[in-house]
């Protein structure tokens, strides 16, 4: 009898289930789980480019003033291209966009904001899908 008792005591000590459980659960189980926003993992090159673009948009651009003839601006275009196509291809697309930053006539779609006509150039590869119309944008 003592031998059986000695075997039974360690089972209580190492049991994973609690000895007493509420039959209906706890109040914390009734609350809906908090949904966490999924953060997209970016590689180190994309993170560094993101920091440089943030620095340009928050520090340099307000001092120097807006100069872009495009919408979205060239810095935002490069960020979108890097996010959509990866660092290398997005960086090349952004550099190409910077080389086209001028006041020449634009053959694709344009937008009008506050009386100014801007060239619409989103971060897509096939620009022929945009057309050649002018759209008014409310700000």
Q: What is the mean pLDDT of residues 59-80?
A: 89
Q: How far, in Å, CA of 130 to CA of 120, rounded? A: 8
The answer to whether residues 72 and 80 touch, using CB atoms and an 8 Å cutoff, is yes
At 3-60, the pLDDT tens digits run: 555 555 555 555 555 565 666 666 656 666 666 656 678 899 999 999 999 999 999 9
* Beta pairing partners, 134: 110
The answer to whether residues 57 and 80 touch, using CB atoms and an 8 Å cutoff, is no
- The phi-psi region of residue 131 (left if phi > 0; otherwise alpha if psi is between -120 and 50; otherwise beta) is left
Q: How far, in Å, CA of 127 to CA of 58, rounded? A: 29
Model confidence pTM above 0.85: no
Ranges of each domain in the chain = 44-136
């Amino acid at each position: 009898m003592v031998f059986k008792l000695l075997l039974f005591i360690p089972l209580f000590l190492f049991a994973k289930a609690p000895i007493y459980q509420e039959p209906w659960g706890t109040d914390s189980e009734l609350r809906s789980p908090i949904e966490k926003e999924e953060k997209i993992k970016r590689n180190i090159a994309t993170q560094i480019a993101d920091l440089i673009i943030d620095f340009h948009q928050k520090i340099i651009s307000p001092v120097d003033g807006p100069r872009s003839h495009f919408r979205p601006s060239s810095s935002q275009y490069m960020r979108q291209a890097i996010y959509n196509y990866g660092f290398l291809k997005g960086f090349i697309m952004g550099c190409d966009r910077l080389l086209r930053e001028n006041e020449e006539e634009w053959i694709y779609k344009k937008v009008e904001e506050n009386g100014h006509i801007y060239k619409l150039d989103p971060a897509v590869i096939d620009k022929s899908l945009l057309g050649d119309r002018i759209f008014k944008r409310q700000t």
